[in-house]
């Protein structure tokens, strides 16, 4: 027999249960529904999906004699090759693509579409009437209509002869020679024959030549600057003997693999040093500069290697008889301009400058020039708060006159015309009423007179100078306006329009650009600039959570370039589509404004511009009623990961949800150059504390109140994963709930991986939007993968 059991529920309690159930149902119904279709729509605005939808957006010139150049222009389907003749003001097809496609199809025995040719590079014959290109390891030649198509029996020169070594190399000015590193020494290779000559013989482990493997930089590419005569190189012997090491463990089945390399930290007694040398190819022979070892520092970046692989802050005289270089102190406060004799190694100090906090030489790379023919040098300084250029006497070091003046700052030098005593430079904030981050190109005399704006359009400009300096390619755009590329003379006169970006396919997806805005900083006075992203189906009657996408600096900012981008950094455009208002704000302490603006939180890196982020977000919420300031979240990667975590600990009442990726949470565990530049040298106290305690996120983990997701790659050689584990340990000690993702064998750039992107989206949808995300949404491969 079945016994039924009943439980008596008082009437009042029953009523309460019914009301509670009804309320829960209403609450569930009121929550926004985020479906797989919503994720798919947001996915369309990731960079991999939007980039192919922007056409005619850039011109990458391949320069020819007489300042002519060709470039390859991406079409909706395929590509076209364009030839430009500046002197004649002509833009025309680089060759007959239909004719070449037909001739190549006959030669290869398979059909090729004229706009989908199987090569991306061409080389014109010396007379300009023919061309060569490589397909499948064969070098073809023909005239510009495809007639006389033939291919060489032997492979092309660049793959002919002895097998080329796998070592990365640095080519001489004429391209005939190259130097490379082998077993800690520098070697020379004749590129035509493959013949090799050892140049140095005393290089050993941790004391090798031309190496760039200190701290986060790990490369076997030689760091040298060739003399113009191609007979010698300036480089260094890098001393890392006794420098501390960094360790990472590669995950695999069986025994793990340990990776170890030199990685100096703030406060270390021994850090990476360089001993400057000139290596003469004849002999060969080494001339050591007669000076103490130099710091492994640059006057702009935290490295000694320029973007092109050469030594940063090193300039040869045109006749190769003298070498000028800048040395930086360990704390980046003092720099010295010096001149060396490459034959004797004698060194002369020309000029010294010391800053209160840190010295920087421009933003676009070292902003100084060595002019031995006129006995002068051009120098960048922020001694008057705004970064300006000055003309100095090379013999005495004294200032002759300011070159730039007035409002705004210099970002970089484009060209120096010694003969006409004129230079071109990139300036910021020199045009009143415009976004101070917009880059414009100017010309000015060495005497500081006749400063002229060469790029008048109210947008940000990027210039590429022709070999002769008579012309420059100017690409200009704004975050909300796609680029136009034109050709100008050095005087700024329009020669012809090259390309106008076509974003029609992008607009067909429903894409909308970000909205630029201005808010006040923490002081209530300083204008701060940012971008706002809203859903394409924006409803002003809906209250949206606000997400802050942060990269605080001090060497950069959240917005980054003011040029057009279909996606912007860290998927801000895409994640907004899920029902958020996303903002990027460049706060006090970021570059490209005044010196006082940039050094606003020097020595207090935990600041992370956060007071400005909070002030700006609150102002936007007061201005726009559709922003729900009570649902504020924050996310970032690397320095942005550090800032996002700091935001959750220092502003626990304001930020409710944070995602922190690859954060350098305690810079005592990050490479020495970066922390010592922005926070100062590490100083310990008798009590065991230090001036670095305030910047360490783990010291404030006990303040966490909201939802925090930490993520790190276990093979991150830039920001070691142990810095996130310090925070994890502190959160455990404080009995705080948090979430953690460790991505095995990933380096520093995991943030845009589909899995990390999806988990980041899920986290904010769940905890800030209050919705249920689609389970394990799978992103589609980008077109062309």
Q: Are 691 and 680 in contact (CB under 8 A)?
A: yes
The pLDDT tens digits for 287-311 are 999 999 999 999 997 778 887 888 9
Q: Which of 662, 670, 667, 665 is nearest to 679 (CA)?
A: 667
Bridge partners of 274, per DSSP, are 238, 294
Q: Are 178 and 172 in contact (CB under 8 A)?
A: yes
Cβ neighbours for 555, distance < 8 A, ≥ 6 positions apart: 301, 302, 591, 678
Starting at the edge strand found earlier in the chain, the sheet holding 399-402 runs 369-371, 376-381, 388-393, 399-402
Q: How far is CA 167 from the centre of its chain?
A: 25
State yes or no: pLDDT of 208 exceeds 90. yes
Q: pLDDT band for position 3 (50/70/90)?
A: very low
Mean pLDDT lowest among 114-118, 309-313, 545-549? 309-313
Residue 644's H or E segment, with its range, is helix 639-650
- Reported for 743-747, long-range contacts at CB under 8 A and 24+ positions apart, including other chains, are 743/711, 743/712, 743/713, 743/714, 744/251, 744/714, 744/715, 745/250, 745/251, 745/713, 745/714, 745/715, 746/713, 746/714, 746/715, 746/716, 747/713, 747/715, 747/716, 747/717, 747/718
- DSSP string computed for 68-91: -EEEEEE-SSSEEEEEEETTTTEE
> What's the rounded Cα separation, in Å, for the pair 256 and 523?
52
State yes or no: pLDDT of 709 exceeds 80. yes
Q: Which of 365, 360, 366 is nearest to 383 (CA)?
A: 360
Average pLDDT over residues 578-595: 97
**pLDDT value at residue 136:** 86
Residue 541's H or E segment, with its range, is none
Average pLDDT over residues 268-272: 96
Mean pLDDT lowest among 47-51, 448-452, 727-731? 47-51
pTM value > 0.85: yes
Of the chain, the percentage scoring pLDDT greater than 70 comes to 94
SS3 label, residue 611: helix
Cβ neighbours for 396, distance < 8 A, ≥ 6 positions apart: none
**Residue 397 Cα distances to 290, 374, 670, angstroms:** 20, 13, 36
Q: Which of 724, 754, 435 is nearest to 571 (CA)?
A: 754
The residue with greater pLDDT, 357 or 3, is 357
- On average, the pLDDT of the chain sits at 92
The pLDDT tens digits for 344-372 are 999 999 999 999 999 999 889 899 999 99
**pLDDT value at residue 25:** 41
Cis peptide before 554 (omega within 30 of 0): yes
Classify burial at 174, counting beta carbons within 10 Å of its beta carbon; exposed 0-12, middle 13-18, buried 19 or more: exposed
**pLDDT value at residue 163:** 40
Average pLDDT over residues 368-395: 97
- DSSP string computed for 454-493: S--SSSEEEEEE-TTSSEEEEEEEETTEEEEEEEEETT--
**pLDDT value at residue 354:** 98
> What's the rounded Cα separation, in Å, for the pair 269 and 466?
47
Average pLDDT over residues 323-342: 97
Q: Are 442 and 415 in contact (CB under 8 A)?
A: no
State yes or no: pLDDT of 658 exceeds 80. yes
**pLDDT value at residue 783:** 56
State yes or no: pLDDT of 204 exceeds 80. yes
Cis peptide before 284 (omega within 30 of 0): yes
Classify burial at 714, counting beta carbons within 10 Å of its beta carbon; exposed 0-12, middle 13-18, buried 19 or more: middle
Q: Are 353 and 366 in contact (CB under 8 A)?
A: no
Structure tokens given for 117? 């040719």
Cβ neighbours for 716, distance < 8 A, ≥ 6 positions apart: 248, 662, 746, 747, 748
Bridge partners of 335, per DSSP, are 328, 353
The pLDDT tens digits for 497-509 are 999 999 999 999 9
Report the alpha-carbon angle 731-733-738, nearest 5: 25
For 109, what's the count of Cα atoms within 13 Å in the CB-facing half-sphere?
1
Q: Which domains does the chain have, with CATH numbers?
A: 62-158 (no CATH), 168-357 (2.140.10.30), 361-379+388-478+480-507 (2.120.10.30), 514-679+691-769 (3.40.50.1820)
């Amino acid at each position: 027999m079945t016994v039924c059991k009943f439980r008596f529920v008082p009437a009042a309690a029953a009523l309460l249960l019914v009301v509670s159930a009804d309320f829960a149902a209403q609450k569930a119904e009121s929550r926004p529904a985020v479906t797989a279709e919503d994720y798919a729509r947001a996915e369309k605005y990731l960079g991999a999906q939007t980039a192919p939808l922007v056409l005619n957006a850039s011109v990458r010139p391949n320069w020819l004699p007489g300042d002519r150049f060709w470039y390859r222009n991406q079409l909706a389907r395929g590509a076209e090759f364009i030839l430009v003749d500046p002197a004649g003001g002509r833009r025309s097809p680089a060759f007959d693509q239909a004719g070449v496609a037909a001739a190549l199809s006959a030669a290869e025995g398979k059909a090729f579409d004229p706009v989908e040719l199987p090569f991306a590079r061409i080389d014109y014959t010396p007379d300009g009437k023919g061309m060569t290109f490589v397909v499948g390891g064969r070098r073809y030649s023909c005239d510009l209509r495809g007639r006389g198509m033939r291919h060489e029996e032997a492979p092309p020169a660049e793959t002919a002869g002895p097998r080329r070594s796998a070592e990365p190399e640095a080519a001489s000015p004429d391209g005939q020679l190259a130097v490379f590193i082998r077993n800690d020494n520098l070697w020379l290779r004749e590129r035509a024959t493959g013949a090799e000559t050892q140049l140095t013989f005393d290089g050993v482990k941790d004391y090798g030549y031309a190496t760039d493997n200190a701290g986060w930089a790990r490369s076997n590419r030689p760091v040298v600057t060739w003399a113009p005569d191609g007979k010698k190189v300036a480089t260094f012997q890098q001393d890392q003997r006794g420098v501390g090491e960094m360790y990472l463990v590669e995950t695999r089945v069986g025994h793990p693999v340990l990776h170890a390399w030199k990685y100096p930290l703030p406060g270390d007694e021994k850090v990476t040093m360089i001993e400057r040398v000139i290596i003469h190819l004849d002999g060969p022979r080494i001339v050591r500069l007669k000076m103490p070892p130099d710091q492994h520092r640059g006057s702009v970046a935290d490295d000694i290697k320029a973007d092109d692989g050469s030594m940063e802050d090193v300039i040869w005289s045109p006749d190769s008889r003298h070498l000028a270089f800048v040395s930086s102190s360990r704390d980046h406060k003092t720099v010295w301009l010096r001149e060396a004799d490459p034959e004797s190694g004698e060194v002369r100090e020309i000029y010294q400058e010391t800053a209160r906090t840190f010295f920087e030489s421009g933003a676009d790379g070292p902003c100084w020039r060595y002019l031995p023919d006129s006995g002068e040098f051009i120098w960048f300084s922020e001694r008057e708060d705004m970064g300006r250029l000055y003309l100095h006497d090379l013999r005495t070091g004294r200032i002759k006159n300011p070159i730039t003046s007035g409002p705004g700052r210099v970002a970089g030098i484009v060209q120096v015309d010694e003969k006409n005593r004129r230079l071109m430079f990139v300036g910021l904030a020199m045009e009143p009423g415009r976004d101070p981050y917009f880059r414009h190109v100017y010309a000015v005399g060495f005497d500081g007179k006749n400063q002229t704006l060469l790029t008048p359009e109210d947008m940000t400009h990027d210039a590429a100078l022709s070999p002769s300096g008579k012309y420059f390619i100017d690409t200009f755009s704004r975050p909300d306006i796609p680029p136009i590329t034109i050709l100008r003379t050095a005087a700024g006169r329009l020669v012809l329009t090259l390309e106008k970006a076509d974003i029609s396919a992008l607009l067909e997806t429903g894409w909308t650009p970000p909205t630029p805005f201005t808010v006040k900083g923490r002081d209530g006075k300083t204008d701060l600039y940012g971008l706002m992203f809203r859903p394409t189906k924006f409803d002003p009657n809906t209250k949206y959570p606000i997400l802050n996408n942060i990269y605080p600096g001090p060497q950069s900012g959240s917005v980054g370039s003011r040029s057009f981008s279909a996606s912007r950094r860290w998927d801000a455009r895409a994640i907004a589509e899920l029902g958020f208002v996303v903002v990027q704000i460049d706060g006090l302490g970021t570059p490209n404004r005044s010196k006082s603006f940039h050094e606003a939180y020097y020595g207090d890196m935990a600041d992370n511009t956060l007071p400005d982020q909070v002030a700006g977000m609150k102002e936007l919420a007061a201005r726009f009623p559709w922003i729900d300031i009570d649902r504020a979240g924050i996310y970032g990667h690397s320095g942005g990961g550090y800032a996002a975590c700091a935001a959750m600990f220092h502003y626990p009442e304001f930020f409710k949800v944070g995602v922190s990726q690859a954060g350098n949470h305690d810079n005592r565990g990050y490479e020495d150059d970066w922390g010592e530049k922005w926070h100062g040298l590490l100083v310990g106290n008798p009590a065991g504390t230090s001036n670095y305690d305030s910047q360490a996120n783990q010291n404030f983990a006990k303040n966490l109140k909201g939802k925090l997701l930490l993520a790190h790659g276990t093979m991150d050689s830039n920001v070691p994963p142990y810095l996130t584990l310090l925070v994890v340990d502190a959160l455990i000690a404080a009995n705080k709930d948090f979430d953690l993702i460790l991505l095995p064998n990933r380096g520093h750039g995991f943030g845009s991986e589909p899995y990390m992107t999806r988990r980041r989206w899920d986290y904010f949808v769940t905890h800030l939007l209050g919705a249920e995300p689609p389970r394990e949404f799978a992103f589609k491969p980008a077109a062309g993968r």
